[in-house]
Structure 1
């Protein structure tokens, strides 16, 4: 193993590299980004991330993916240490997202005769990215490249995981499957492989929920193709540790999670434009918000969308969200044609949403809104207007907008279920009494709050408790493993105003604390001035419980403001709703 960079330097953005032989004539080149705490702002990272690139040597040589541009000098030095780049025959592009293809132009400069291999649309995207001619080969599902010495590379289509041009690559000799974003995690560690399953699991799940969950049906489609392979002993991911010790366990988790999402009774479509402004990233945040409500999501890139496919999708879904397309340029006509097809196929019972891309040439959003409204469609959420580089607050508003859409789709069904419940079991469960609490959290530029009642002490040493958080609550995104928050305990004789305040629905992006007296805890979260007591907490683990997450947290700081007062108590009639 070779490591470059000083791991002892305590500074921001520690960047190191690492190489390791992972199979016969097969090397991983890992770019370790130890201090990265956000991934394109959409979601926070607790443990940094890695960008993984691979060399496969037969009689010919293939390089699978490159690295992030921030690793320019480190990565190219690492590559030179492994091989003369001019000797590389193929550069396989798993997908064209910049964190994996950021150094393609530099590799082309070092190896001008190299053949770039990728999906048809990946090659098209790269032509626009590098602005130069290069040798290329389109990889279709089932196509193979024989490198010699037994290394036969087979390609599998895996669109929308999580870009439209994604392909997997399988080496029949080593039985290594290269999957880029799929099965990855933003988890930076010196361990090349998934030795510590317990440590990896929270980040692996969070990564799935953020990037793969909104594309659950595409995940299942890709896994069907994987099932036809003769055997997989290693999954070589684009981010985080490679899967070798727990391949079966971790891939089956993807299958289980995706099947649950794909069984949803209703589906929403999200139309975006990859590589235009911030459309893809904003759409991902919206899709994640929708999927948190149990509504399935189908994502479609307007750059490559077929008009017939657009019509079929609109006919199938209960709601759709669309980005503002460019007013001119290469993809303007295709995107606007697709939108015209949406308008023609849309039905009056559907709801819709629109968001700006901030791509520099966006079609005005208000005329687009008017076109949809004129067909009788109703807005699922207020149009998302992006007038500058999106901030954490914009991405959070996108996620909350998606959640609002999903909750509107499921509202009638949920009300129906509540009305049908009158059995003794449900009434008996409802007799479990609980306190009244308000969770408050701060992370980056974001604040969150939620009224809670399902709270119980869970340990003495260390002091800890559990709280159940519904999957579709906005604060759930701020309560991942390692996150901090405050538990505010409401007073029995002084809870009505706070309960009323935090029981209501907030518009996406709204300030939960406007007009509320607060002070700042040591961990940065708001403390409610009128709370009976408060505890500063750190999330240690999470357990999935159907429609809730059971979050176990350690208490680090606590104080009671009124020692003689009692906690407010909540009583329910039945155990099937709050």
Structure 2
């Protein structure tokens, strides 16, 4: 990394890792580790068990592992334990450097091992020699309460762990082509940080005084060429969250990370609709923080694992605060994971209903680790909860600085723009979705391409990212298929049940009663307020019925479909 003392070891995979289950884009990832070799040697953020063997083999080529002095951990999670145990076997004398919450997690996970821990306090630094006086910045967030950044003033590298990353695999070590990373960076933020934007903003303030010339994240390219742009983006994305009109408090505890994964997925669904989410990990939040969040929120969700047939003490405390603080008019939700039984979710549901709260969805109970279908279901539940909350609050868009008459005239004029009625059918792995769409138009001849506007709160939106494939079923005049897709679908419900379909070459559903269909691959996306404008190249297509007219959507107003 521009110096003989500092080396990056990039563990790469083009598959999605287990810990990325809530991260539905499948573009692989790099797990970045960093080695500083001075008078003493420090390893920063060793990877998880998917890479343990290959990582240790490569590490041995860079350094005699038995002479390793320190292992610095930006966060501690179960995924890293296999690698940490292997390092301890090779070098029992190593000292782990982590935050205080990280030390507690490490001691619980490695209780059968003897090892050294150092928790830096205040302005304490770690002197590796040759000018490498490492400084440490705690950046706790609900998802990573033990978050710790490391700054090396000698190289001016800031090791940011979960900040400024991207789950994307490639050969590039640096971010020279950072514009191509825009979608991956934004999606990473939306999945991992949008629901904890307040704490991320605090972390940015803590990092601002350090004169870093590059950010070294735990995943993705090293940030060097787009440093100021990336900081600006993080602040802008966070501001977009805090400026939303409605807020949901997402309160949870997570014993093994599974309940936290459900929380992330539900939050992703809510933030898609323009609802701000404030995550609170009640294992690390005090009563005052929980009470303040409950008082200012418009709705709340509470998630819990089941431990010994009950909810953890911290969840019981948070529930007590909710029952004594939250107005009965606030919309509520319950979710949780379990191993052998799920009494905690039942107990929370019962207490909320007995107190008179209205639940926005059927409580979610997930055994062990959630799969792709469960994650998609949770996202759709989040969307439905947010839409229900908006209706209950009679949510309206902000007033525009024009007269009502002018708005009406403009809406009527925009409404005269017509589009063909189609069904957008998308599938990724075992997850599929479909929606009736009319904002469709041809966009290019060579290659043949089209654009389609996809609302951010549509369930299918998460399946229309760059590289995804879909089928656009072009409908004929008549109401059969149109009527099917005009109905409301429950979260996780099969949108194509009852229709005569077959799989296209790209695996997405073709509706046999359609007039024609085209198979498409998404090439780019543009943020357009409450919609994404998708540009896709047509890979294949066929007219299914030689007679019949294309169904067209005529509207009276441009302010609604």
TM-score normalised over the length of structure 2 = 0.93
Say what the alpha-carbon RMSD is for the aligned residues. Answer: 2.3
**Using the alignment, how far apart are the partners of 2:102 and 2:267 within structure 1?**
23
Aligned to 2:248: 268
Tell me, yes or no, if the aligned pair for 2:65 and 2:90 is still in contact at 8 Å: yes
**Structure-to-structure mapping, 1:27-46, within 5 angstroms:** 27-36=7-16, 40-46=20-26
**Using the alignment, how far apart are the partners of 2:85 and 2:464 within structure 1?**
39
Tell me, yes or no, if the aligned pair for 1:286 and 1:400 is still in contact at 8 Å: yes
Shift of 1:156: 2.0
Shift of 1:489: 0.8
**Structure-to-structure mapping, 1:495-574, within 5 angstroms:** 496-574=479-557
| CA displacement, residues 352-395 of structure 1 (integer Å, 9 cap, x when unaligned) | 11112124464342232110111111111111122354221111
**Structure-to-structure mapping, 1:14-413, within 5 angstroms:** 21-36=1-16, 40-100=20-80, 102-131=82-111, 132-139=113-120, 143-160=124-141, 162-229=143-210, 231-276=211-256, 278-328=258-308, 332-360=312-340, 362-387=342-367, 389-411=369-391
**Using the alignment, how far apart are the partners of 1:75 and 1:59 within structure 2?**
23
Shift of 1:544: 0.7
- The more displaced of 154-163 and 554-563 is 154-163
Aligned to 1:10: none
User: Helix, strand or coil for the counterpart of 1:205?
Assistant: helix
Match among 430, 449, 454 for residue 415 of structure 2: 430
**Using the alignment, how far apart are the partners of 1:500 and 1:418 within structure 2?**
32
Shift of 1:216: 1.9
User: Helix, strand or coil for the counterpart of 1:91?
Assistant: strand
- Alpha carbons of structure 1 residues 133 and 251: separation in structure 2 relative to 1, 3 Å: same
Tell me, yes or no, if the aligned pair for 1:305 and 1:338 is still in contact at 8 Å: no
Shift of 1:536: 0.5
**Using the alignment, how far apart are the partners of 2:556 and 2:123 within structure 1?**
58
| CA displacement, residues 63-115 of structure 1 (integer Å, 9 cap, x when unaligned) | 11111212222111112111122333221110113455541122222222222
Tell me, yes or no, if the aligned pair for 1:481 and 1:542 is still in contact at 8 Å: yes
Aligned to 1:453: 438
Tell me, yes or no, if the aligned pair for 2:298 and 2:331 is still in contact at 8 Å: yes
Shift of 1:39: 5.3
Aligned to 2:462: 477
Tell me, yes or no, if the aligned pair for 2:137 and 2:150 is still in contact at 8 Å: yes
User: Helix, strand or coil for the counterpart of 1:67?
Assistant: coil
- The more displaced of 358-367 and 403-412 is 358-367
Tell me, yes or no, if the aligned pair for 2:339 and 2:368 is still in contact at 8 Å: no
**Using the alignment, how far apart are the partners of 1:253 and 1:446 within structure 2?**
30
Answer yes or no: is 1:576 the counterpart of 2:559: yes
Tell me, yes or no, if the aligned pair for 1:155 and 1:170 is still in contact at 8 Å: yes
Shift of 1:415: 5.7
| CA displacement, residues 515-556 of structure 1 (integer Å, 9 cap, x when unaligned) | 111111110111111111111011111111111111110100
User: Helix, strand or coil for the counterpart of 1:378?
Assistant: coil
- Alpha carbons of structure 1 residues 414 and 56: separation in structure 2 relative to 1, 3 Å: farther
**Using the alignment, how far apart are the partners of 1:141 and 1:541 within structure 2?**
46
Tell me, yes or no, if the aligned pair for 2:21 and 2:372 is still in contact at 8 Å: yes
Aligned to 1:3: none
TM-score normalised over the length of structure 1 = 0.91
**Using the alignment, how far apart are the partners of 2:4 and 2:362 within structure 1?**
55
**Using the alignment, how far apart are the partners of 1:142 and 1:294 within structure 2?**
40
Shift of 1:22: 4.2
- Alpha carbons of structure 1 residues 69 and 417: separation in structure 2 relative to 1, 3 Å: closer
**Using the alignment, how far apart are the partners of 2:187 and 2:81 within structure 1?**
24
**Using the alignment, how far apart are the partners of 1:161 and 1:78 within structure 2?**
33
User: Helix, strand or coil for the counterpart of 2:338?
Assistant: coil
Tell me, yes or no, if the aligned pair for 1:325 and 1:335 is still in contact at 8 Å: no
Unaligned runs of 5+ in 2: none
Tell me, yes or no, if the aligned pair for 1:93 and 1:101 is still in contact at 8 Å: no
- Alpha carbons of structure 1 residues 50 and 360: separation in structure 2 relative to 1, 3 Å: farther
- Alpha carbons of structure 1 residues 66 and 166: separation in structure 2 relative to 1, 3 Å: same
Shift of 1:35: 3.1
**Using the alignment, how far apart are the partners of 1:117 and 1:46 within structure 2?**
32
**Using the alignment, how far apart are the partners of 2:304 and 2:59 within structure 1?**
40
Answer yes or no: is 1:464 the counterpart of 2:439: no
Unaligned runs of 5+ in 1: 1-20
Aligned to 1:8: none
- Alpha carbons of structure 1 residues 223 and 134: separation in structure 2 relative to 1, 3 Å: same
